Chains A and B, each alone.
Chain A
Amino acid sequence: MKQEQSMRVYMAECTLHAAVLDEALNDTRKWIPISVETHLDKELLRILDQIAYRFTKLQDSMGEKILPLIMELAQEPVSSSATFAEKLNRLERMGAIPSADEWKKLRIARNAVAHEYPDDPELRASAINHFLAGAKQLSSLYQFVMQYIAAHFPELTAMKDRAVCRE
């Protein structure tokens, strides 16, 4: 029971990160794709900061909270010494994530803009486009995981709906 309660809290947290991320991605419409000529005005920078923040939050919460808890709820036996990469492979086999490799690539996509210095405009454009593509992919990955949870632990989503109704 306790695990299920925790999962509901984590799902609510991640759903908020994903919603803000999607909204911010939607707000980049008038600038994308970023080119050498794109002027990085304050409005775009603010949106990119917001995406970077939610990207990191969503990825960390999924990696540290939701994914390990899915394995516990599914009673997947994993040795306590298993590395994160081994856990990802197991999650892929369970069908909880589309691919372990994609998850690792998303960690790397976040690095595209982890950068404090100005850049050659062509490199800058490429970095932002890679980063935005990664953010979109992370959002889809989150939806995939939510569908897995709804299909395998229907009581979690059902109880969540009841809780919402009571409010």
Chain B
Amino acid sequence: MRVTTDQITIFKNLACRYFGEDAQLWLFGSRTDDSKKGGDYDFFIETSMNNADQIIVSRSYLIAELQNTEPFEDEKIDIIVKRRSSAFDMPIYHIAKHEGMRI
């Protein structure tokens, strides 16, 4: 896994502030693969929040705040949000949860 403990702590604190204390978080994609180099940070968040506009604004602020911290400065961060209340499903949700790492 190519992510520092600092980065994980920062992400968890900020993600829970924006998406609720009960939000569940995963890191997935190339950063979980030690054989790779560089790459984006891909996170998956499952939240009890339901309002779409609120989720989009929260996600935008979360990315901006992360990029304001030294460990994530200039890094590209992608965040997928899944609403617990929604029946909508996509393969990427399963990939993120099963191939990713719960943080």
Contacts and interface: CB of A to CB of B under 8 A. Distances in A.
Contacts of B53: 126, 130
Nearest to B51: A126
Interface string B46-80: 00000011011101110110000000000010111
Interface string B79-97: 1111100101010100000
A117 B57 contact: no
B27 to A, nearest CB: 14
A143 interface: no
Contacts of A126: 52-53, 55-56
A115 interface: yes
A95 interface: no
Max count, chain A CB within 10 A of own CB: residue among B83, B88, B92: B88
A118 B92 contact: yes
A63 to B, nearest CB: 14
B64 to A, nearest CB: 5
A122 B64 contact: no
Interface of A: 107-109, 111-112, 114-123, 125-127, 130
